[in-house]
Amino acid sequence: MASPVSSPRTPFGRIATAMVTPFTADGALDLDGAQALAAQLVDAGNDALVLNGTTGESPTTTDEEKAALVKAVRAALGDRAQLIAGVGTNDTRHSVEQAKAAQQAGADGLLVVTPYYSRPPQEGVYRHFTAIADATGLPLMLYDIPVRTGAPIDTETLVRLAEHERIVAVKDAKGDLGASSWVMARTDLAYYSGDDMLNLPLLSIGAIGAVSVAGHLVSADIRALFDAYAAGEVAKARDIHRSLLPVYTGLFRTQGVITTKAALNRLGRPAGPVRLPLVDLTDEQLEVLRRDLAAAGVHI
């Protein structure tokens, strides 16, 4: 069910939000809320949504909940946007099972994070990703975020992985513009910014899109930034980037899903609580978030 905005250069469109997983007040999966939130995000200008990623609290949702979420959002959206399902774990066999389940549930693509905690050598990283890519017919976006996983995807490993026909993109949250530049120069991998604060810097070295947390609140502004840059209006893109700095800062004073759900709840949009070991914002933290967002014209 590929979105009409996709192409070999932009396999998942340009703007995607890494969607929170709404829960009810008692912590159960809220599929009605997920369908409503997904529709709101697509209406706001997202080409794709990432489900069951870090911001979707994937470490604390079951395999059954993950599949149900993809099915429900697919049913709500039809082909209005692409759905990228997070399936990465630190167990290759489990990740393969999740990849197959995501394909059956209706996902258009897979987001696969570097195996975490185990800190495998690069050959293990390479084999992990290729095993998952071989398991389905879906395109893969690799997720490179060593601050969480403890293991980067090295440049040479990314170059090798780019040879696989279904490994087409990278969600880059490595924070190493030099390394990312080399991979973009040597491969056809489509780079998506995985760190909102670096959306514009990554765009300047060749990234083609963003997988955003801030997109829950400012999708239209992020799209305007990318459109301005593509049109050669670099100063305008810079100004938009600077105007969004308080949003980026506010959402990441603590774990991003905590602040994002707090903001959505204040706006009356589907979100609900977080699951342990995450904890909801205190009143004092919520006030700081409110001030941060207000500085960028976002009022909660």
The catalytic position among 71, 100, 117, 171 is 171
What is residue 29's DSSP assignment? B
Q: Would you say 221 and 268 are in contact if contact means Cβ atoms under 8 Å apart?
A: no
Q: Are the C-beta atoms of residues 117 and 146 closer than 8 Å to each other?
A: no
Mark whether 261 is an active-site residue: no
DSSP state for residue 26 in the 8-state scheme:
T
Q: What is the C-alpha radius of gyration for the chain, rounded to an integer number of angstroms? A: 18
Annotated active-site residue 171? The verdict is yes
Distances (CA, A) of 163 to 50, 172, 183, 189: 24, 18, 12, 9
Structure tokens at 15: 């703007």
Question: Cα separation of 49 and 129, whole Å?
Answer: 21
What is the distance of C-alpha 269 from the center of its chain?
19
Half-sphere exposure of 65 (CA within 13 A, CB side): 18
Residue 7's CB is within 10 A of a number of other CB atoms, namely: 11
Using CA atoms of 232, 226, 200, 233 in order, give the dihedral in degrees to the nearest 10. 20
**Residue 62 CB contacts under 8 Å (≥ 6 apart), including other chains:** none
Of the candidates 66, 126, 143, 261, the residue annotated as catalytic is 143
The residues carrying an active-site annotation are 143, 171
